[in-house]
Structure 1
Amino acid sequence: MSEQQTVTVYLYPKCGTCRDALKSLDRKGVKPDEVVNIFETAPSAERLAEMIVKSGLGIKKFFNTSGEVYKEMQLKDKLPGMSEADMIALLASNGRLIKRPIVYDGERVTVGFKEDEYERVWKGSRE
């Protein structure tokens, strides 16, 4: 039997999509060890960098492009000129900029919620 990974979910509790994601994980038998309110406690720059690498997604997939803060800061225009380190520091500085929910177990990462992706990535991950 393999060692169980710690599953952390970064979410905003009032977000309906985040609540749907938790229900989906529960149906798959995945019980998060830690649920973090991303608005109160954004992941550290180190954790974000780790998740970005493990996700295989580009850093821009971690930005909440439909969020108010993203639009207010005019990041659509600013991001192309920023270094990856600056983008990660920006994400770590304000959880409202981060696309949610993020589910991370040390190896696997999902950003946002799509049922088919959760089915593929998280189904039976705690068996």
Structure 2
Amino acid sequence: MLLYWWPRCSTCREARQALHERGVRPEERDYFARPLTPEELRELAAAAGGVRLLVATGSPSFRRLGRSLEGLSDAELEAHVLAEPRLLRRPLLRTSDGRVLVGARAIREGAP
């Protein structure tokens, strides 16, 4: 398992703690310190059900784009997420069976 997180994010820290309390200690990747590659983002998006499900549409970074989710192609969304990691919903957990759980609630409820 691999936890994609940002240590400065309280939601990420809470999800990580919830995993640890259940004895689950995934590998961890601070994707601000070590950004995703285009290939990694595409793989995560495919496993999660599409890049649109990975975009934090309520974030100030998304609002600054001045566009709606529907007004952007998947390729444009990928480019924006790669340029601005704050657009990526967090945390993400890639499970050992290849699923990608998006957000703290999904991780708390769906992680092994």
TM-score (ref. length: structure 1): 0.74
SS state at 2:8 partner: coil
Alignment root-mean-square deviation, CA:
1.9
For structure 1, the residue ranges without an aligned partner over 5 or more in a row are 1-6
The answer to whether structure 1 residue 12 and structure 2 residue 2 are counterparts is no
The structure having more radius of gyration, on CA atoms, is 1
Count, aligned residues = 111
**Is the CA contact 2:52–2:74 (under 8 Å) kept in the aligned structure 1?**
no
What CA distance in whole angstroms lies between the structure 2 residues aligned with 1:112 and 1:53? Answer: 16
TM-score (ref. length: structure 2): 0.82
Over the matched positions of the two proteins, sequence identity in percent amounts to 28
For structure 2, the residue ranges without an aligned partner over 5 or more in a row are none
The answer to whether structure 1 residue 72 and structure 2 residue 64 are counterparts is yes
Query: Post-superposition, which runs of at least 4 consecutive aligned residues in structure 1 deviate over 6 A?
Result: none
What CA distance in whole angstroms lies between the structure 2 residues aligned with 1:46 and 1:72? Answer: 25
Q: Deviations over 1:81-102 (max 9, x none)?
A: 3321221122122211111001
What CA distance in whole angstroms lies between the structure 1 residues aligned with 2:42 and 2:58? Answer: 22
Q: Which residue of 2 aligns with 1:44?
A: 37
AA aligned opposite 1:52: A
